[in-house]
Amino acid sequence: MTQLLTAFTAIALGVGGVLVLFWGLNVAVDRTNEKTQDKLRPWVFIGPAMLVVTLFLLVPAVDTFRRSFLGPASQEFVGLANYEYLVTDPQVRTAIWNNLLWILIVPAVSVAIGLVVAVLADRMSETWEKISKSLIFLPMAISFVGASTIWGFIYAWRTPGTPQIGLLNAIWTAFGNEPVGWLQNFAINDFALMAIMIWLQTGFAMVLLSAAIKNVPVDTIEAARVDGASEIAIFWRVIVPQIRSTIVVVATTILILVLKIFDIVYVMTDGNYGTDVIANLFIRTMFNFGQFGQAAVLVVFLIVVTVPFMIINIRRFREQEAMR
């Protein structure tokens, strides 16, 4: 009860504090002359947000970059030793390779399945469209840890000759096959983990792509049909070009999410059996081994890789806004 009261008090103070802050600043601006008001008012509204971003994002990022040149305890200067670790350590190479696989496969498959579902659902009756979209979107409401727990029971493996509690192995062994260690087999465990993320993100891709498809002018589709184009030709030559910006935005959004992938790998394998990724390696390097400098350089690597995709995403978003 006390914790609940504390939570409500914190929310009330936080929301109320923001309202009071904006109200007070607005009143202060209103008391200046009209010319000054025009100059100050935009900063009144974006200033607090910029301050928060600077304090909680930019300052930690700059400090992390500084620590990437320091030793394990973040005290002595070690030059580029941590960056040498980044490019030479076998564990880092494995993590980078796995991240690369996630980047190549997860966004592409999620967008492809989401696009197929969006097109098929668009041709259903209104009732079945709502039902099918709700079912596909449902996993989005589940946390990464919750989804990993669910899929943990699907991938569960027991030694041959013992009852299989995992769904996949129960089906697989029912046909007389030996049980498969889906998370222990080096050839398939990465893809087994990616399937969880694809399951979670397909609903997100479907919703945005379905909205984009519904905005495609019907006249262009009807004109193509009058000209004798097949449905497949209409899809690739009429619909896809008009929703290209949305496809790119969805793909880059999922890609940025994939770059930070941690929860699924941590819960399912903790990076064992060759499934490690950069974020999981960072946690282990920093908190298990106390190597702050090496952990910092892993974060710097993630930031450097993520920024270009964020820029692409913002540019595509601006293009979409300009077209409206």
pLDDT at 259: 85
H or E element at residue 202: helix 189-214
Q: What is the C-alpha to C-alpha distance for residues 5 and 253, in angstroms, rounded to an integer?
A: 36
Burial of 46 by CB count in 10 Å (0-12 exposed, 13-18 middle, 19+ buried)? Answer: exposed
215-230 mean pLDDT:
88
pLDDT at 26: 83
For the chain, report the end-to-end CA distance as a whole number of angstroms.
49
Tens-place pLDDT, residues 16-65: 888 888 888 888 888 888 888 888 888 888 888 888 889 988 999 999 99
Tens-place pLDDT, residues 138-181: 998 899 999 999 999 999 988 888 888 889 998 998 888 889 99
Nearest alpha carbon to residue 124 among 135, 113, 132: 132
Q: What is the pTM of this model?
A: 0.80
Q: What is the C-alpha to C-alpha distance for residues 154 and 224, in angstroms, rounded to an integer?
A: 45
CB atoms under 10 Å from CB of 11, counted, come to: 10
103-117 mean pLDDT:
93
The 3 state secondary structure assigned to 121-174 is: HHCCCHHHHHHHHHHHHHHHHCCHHHHHHHHHHHHCCCCCCCCCCCHHHHHHHH
Query: What residues form DSSP beta bridges with 70?
Result: 77
Asked if 107 and 202 touch (Cβ cutoff 8 Å), the reply is no
